[in-house]
Amino acid sequence: MNVHDSEKVVGTLVQEGYRQVETVEQAELVLYNTCSIRDKAEQKVFNRLADYKKYKAQGKTFGVLGCVAQQEGEKVFERAPYVSLVAGSASYRNLPEMLVQIQAGNSRVTGLDDRQTDECFETEFTARTNPHRGYITIIEGCDKFCAYCVVPFTRGKERSRTSESVLAEARQMADLGYTEIQLLGQNVNSYKDPDCGDSGKKRTFAELLAAVGEIPGIRRVRFTTSHPRDFGRDIIDAIDAVPTLCDHVHLPVQSGSTRVLDAMQRLYSREQYLERIAWMKTAKREISITSDVIVGFPGETEADFAETLSLLDEVGFDAVFAFKYSPRPNTPSLSLEDAIPEEEKSRRLEVLMARQREIQIQRYKKYIGSITEAMVESRNEARKQWMGRTSQNKTLNFTASTDPKVGSYVNVRVTSSFPNSLLGEMVI
């Protein structure tokens, strides 16, 4: 999502006559897009800004964008006085005007919104960096207020784009030669078509997904992220019915213990999560499932943690992004007692990652000998390999006797497997 936000910022400014350069040294204006999902990400921002200080003497202008900007607001100016612009993601459309103010001599310009804003992050121009695979935002913000999460405060309330405008953008991308589209949102399955558009049709998320998948020229459609609570069976039906919809679902579970899920205010139980997994396992194609997990949420006991480990065994994820709980400003869990010591969080994280690694070793092995379609992403000259991605979103590196084109789709016979990737040779 942050990568795509940066594409929107670049697109907006290029349209105004700005030119993108490769390095900070070459730039006159440096915009730093930031994330505040965990404290570590936020600390990085201020460390990086301290590195930029030396450039101020060269007359460069600095701006901080994204969630740290939205969260810290004018405090950014105090911590990094050489910054001239602080703007949250709902203000990107106004960036050209804000930059005019800076040029007019205003050295502290802000674009900060309250949570209630109806402003869309949508910008008219987007500079997509990859010519084959592109993102489209369908829903912004979040109203879920999970107890640990800062997103509802930094990205504001939930607001969906019309399905007509999403489809128009997708068709335009297909015309430009894009073959893969990834629909983005904090919770794509909370999508609610705000009006009927010109065609008079109001679409559910599953209908929108299917409609994007049916656009001529589109070969792969992905979507991220999903919330288990709003994850309906109709999404599986759509994947069954439309072959271009990728056989991969990222469904963050966060914990395998219903008690911890309650404390996290996730509004589903372990059993309800597993019910959704069971739906996926009845799909016509094998759906690859990935997840996010938080360890060391306040009050998480050894028994709760053991339930998370057993859930990993039960589901058999193909990838898990695991994080140590990080207390965030404004969030309800900030005031919870029973904090877990940092060393214990680290221990749990290691145990969880080791268990998941074993699961992936077993899971990835079973693809050896199969022939899988990969979209060619890049060339690794040192290894004399091509890097590709399967519909299931797995990395599939391969050798080839003739050079495939980046962005093309090739068939690869899998010859060996690793915990996080597959290796094979292109089949002609």
- Applying CB under 6 A, does 424 fall inside the site for ligand 5AD? no
CB of 169 to ligand SF4, least distance (A): 23
Q: Which of 113, 119, 214, 292 binds ligand 5AD (CB under 6 A)?
A: 292
What's the CA gap between 203 and 180, in Å, rounded? Answer: 21
Q: Which two tokens stand for residue 96?
A: 């050209």
Q: Which of 69, 98, 151, 319 binds ligand SF4 (CB under 6 A)?
A: 151
Q: Which is nearer to ligand 5AD, 56 or 347 (CB)?
A: 347
- Applying CB under 6 A, does 38 fall inside the site for ligand 5AD? yes
Beta strands in 162-287 (DSSP E): 180-184, 220-224, 248-250
What's the CA gap between 189 and 117, in Å, rounded? Answer: 21
Residue 309: half-sphere exposure toward Cβ, Cα within 13 Å: 17
Kindly write out the interface string for residues 119-148 of this chain, putting x where it contacts ligand SF4 by CB under 6 A and - elsewhere: -----------------------x-xxx--
CB of 326 to ligand 5AD, least distance (A): 4
- Applying CB under 6 A, does 191 fall inside the site for ligand 5AD? no
Q: Three-class SS of residue 406?
A: coil
State the CB neighbour count (10 A cutoff) for residue 324.
Answer: 18
| Residue 187 contacts which entry, ligand 5AD, ligand SF4, none (Cβ below 5-8 A, type-dependent) | ligand SF4
- Applying CB under 6 A, does 227 fall inside the site for ligand SF4? yes
Q: Which of 68, 149, 349, 396 binds ligand 5AD (CB under 6 A)?
A: 149
Q: Three-class SS of residue 260?
A: helix
What's the CA gap between 44 and 348, in Å, rounded? Answer: 24
- Applying CB under 6 A, does 326 fall inside the site for ligand 5AD? yes
What lies within 8 Å, CB to CB, of 149 at 6+ separation is 37, 142, 328, 331
Q: Which is nearer to ligand SF4, 186 or 291 (CB)?
A: 186
Q: Three-class SS of residue 75?
A: helix
**Residue span binding ligand 5AD (CB under 6 A) among the ranges 132-140, 239-247, 319-327, 393-401:** 319-327
Q: Which is nearer to ligand SF4, 11 or 332 (CB)?
A: 332
Measured on CA atoms in the order 201, 207, 213, 214, is the torsion positive or negative?
negative
Q: Which is nearer to ligand 5AD, 134 or 298 (CB)?
A: 298
State the SS3 of 160-191. Answer: ECCHHHHHHHHHHHHHCCCCEEEEECCCHHHC
CB of 311 to ligand 5AD, least distance (A): 14
Q: 342-365 and 302-315 are packed helices; what angle lies between their axes, rounded to 10 degrees? A: 10
Footprint of ligand 5AD (CB under 6 A):
37-38, 148-149, 252, 254, 292, 294, 323, 325-326, 328
